[in-house]
A and B are shown apart, each in its own frame.
Chain A
């Protein structure tokens, strides 16, 4: 039983990691219906920025963190301006390919600049564990869980309660109509990319003690976070976190109870099963089109 609870807790922690990355996917999708395959790579880049500020320039952890988030927000706007804006309104397939290309580019460039070794950031959470009875939970994982919950709540409030958030939802539903209503669609899209790059950076920095920073971390984790976003229904912020937690729990349970090899495939099998029964994901809403 204790094993089960321990696996559950570490699954939830792992799932929050996926959820945190999935949040970025969902944000961009929710506001622009663009699927950003470079999300994981934005996360990787955020981690490297933080490493530059904290590890190489020796800044305080929190200042470096904030600096990395700000720098990546700018970078997100730049990427949107250069790669995404010219093809907004074209079929999704072209945008997916463009972001895959962007991902390739970022991975290689990061590999060239920061090398191919695993890098590490010293964080206030790197040391120590929390013990509740005989349960053991490391602080770095707790920090990820807390950050995921906070960011998820903030973003949900932002999307549902603020004017800018409503504008984003409007422009995702119908870009042209939103433009006619006086919403500055281009600026809205640019802000969304800034926010999602910032969220990705939070994920990258918080994950640094757990997964280390290397140029392929984005690809590896992105491939897990992507099913999480799909599982939750691509357009739903709480769905992303729930999907992430589900994927994390399934992975850690499969790793513990099933023979070797199931750990990596089990999330995808569950994903396929869910898509088969509910093609729009757990929290996605399906609206029928009138002809």
Chain B
């Protein structure tokens, strides 16, 4: 096990605490860069969605994970980014301009949402963000001169500096990857700056932060604006990837999905956003795969344990019927959320840290290291 001796603050806030980080992240980046050459086009397309979801996840982590302000309205920010891009594109605005404009506009709207949210905490904030998202959804459906209403808008192929970039080309993937990497690096830098420290202070105790001289209102609005702006950038990519957007894509369901991304990944580290995005995007193909292959597999297992061909056949058809039931996906979704909340509240990244620590400390690992403290004295009404 490696011990890091830190002698001053600069050591403590290094992006890469030791050379191992540089090597492992370098290898990861290299693998991602050559991915288009050996992955199938379907997996590439899923990888693009992973990048987009992870970008939104990072945005949500800034707000929920690090500033402690829950939001169930991020689908609305994504929608604003996507529609801004689609609208400006109609007037032949070049990509860099509308990309920045979408992020800027979403950031401004995010700040405007942040102002009313200043006085709200907990459940009231959740319902305020839900209300905001529902209002945006309705506006998108009704403001037909701009958004084309429920018929939706077609998004033209991305054209970057005169070169067309189709939505399933490797270049588009590189663009999404670049946005994700820039977002992550930018966020890491933000979090080790005074602004990021203020965010974390607000999360841990608003009163304590205020008494330390943190301008709580200003930093909350900043957090909302930054989070919304990043989501707006992701929205532009989302619109290009789907090439068609309509209001019913940006529902509460999508907001919940984003929350699930950070919940499953882990809300205390940026790794969580990426791991959660991989999980959420890959669960669909995985379930489809199970649906197609599980019946045969289970019948095969039954046959090896001595079931006759007739019994194996009936098992196979029963399992197939079960797997193709409507709504099985929703049930599995629900079970996964509940299981994660109950058994792995630190998320996938927390699990990874635990496994890592287990091997580092090998015979001396204690489960209590990661035990959560229960706080029963907690009436929010008296806060």
Contact = CB atoms under 8 A, between A and B. Distances in A.
A33 B338 contact: no
B341 A98 contact: yes
Contacts of A105: 330-331, 333-335, 338
B134 interface: yes
A33 B379 contact: yes
Q: What secondary structure prevails in chain A residues at the interface with B? A: helix
B207 interface: yes
Nearest to A285: B381
Given A175-B377, A289-B383, A111 B327 contact: yes
A230 B326 contact: no
Interface in A195-243: 215, 223, 226-227, 230, 234-235
Interface stretch (B171-179, B224-232, B348-356, B368-376): B368-376
**Interface size band for A:** 35 or more
Contact of B334 (A33, A95, A104, A223): A104
Give the residue among B139, B252, B327, B335 with the most A Cβ atoms within 10 A.
B327
Nearest to A279: B119
A87 B142 contact: no
Interface of A: 29, 33, 35, 83, 86-90, 92-98, 100-109, 111-112, 116, 172-177, 179, 215, 223, 226-227, 230, 234-235, 261, 264-265, 268-269, 271-272, 275-276, 279-281, 284-285, 287, 289, 291
Nearest to A83: B338
Q: What secondary structure prevails in chain B residues at the interface with A? A: helix
15 contacts: A33-B379, A92-B122, A97-B259, A100-B256, A101-B338, A105-B333, A105-B334, A116-B326, A174-B376, A176-B377, A234-B123, A269-B131, A275-B120, A279-B119, A289-B383
Interface of B: 64, 70, 116, 119-120, 122-124, 126-128, 130-132, 134-135, 138-139, 141-142, 207, 211, 252, 256, 259-260, 263, 325-331, 333-338, 341-342, 345, 372, 374-383
Nearest to B64: A93
A265 B342 contact: no
Contacts of A29: 123
Contacts, number: 160
Contacts of A174: 376-377, 379
A265 B334 contact: no
Given A92-B122, A272-B131, A285-B381, A108 B374 contact: no
Contacts of B126: 35, 96
Given A272-B131, A287-B382, 17 more contacts: A33-B378, A87-B342, A90-B374, A94-B341, A96-B70, A101-B337, A105-B338, A107-B327, A108-B327, A108-B331, A223-B134, A223-B252, A261-B138, A261-B141, A265-B134, A265-B139, A275-B119
B341 A108 contact: no
B211 A291 contact: yes
Contacts of A264: 134, 138
Given A177-B377, A275-B120, A104 B138 contact: no
A175 B376 contact: yes
Given A96-B126, A261-B138, A104 B381 contact: no
Contact of A227 (B64, B127, B142): B127
Nearest to A288: B382
Contact of B123 (A35, A223, A268, A289): A35
A34 B181 CA distance: 37
Nearest to B383: A289
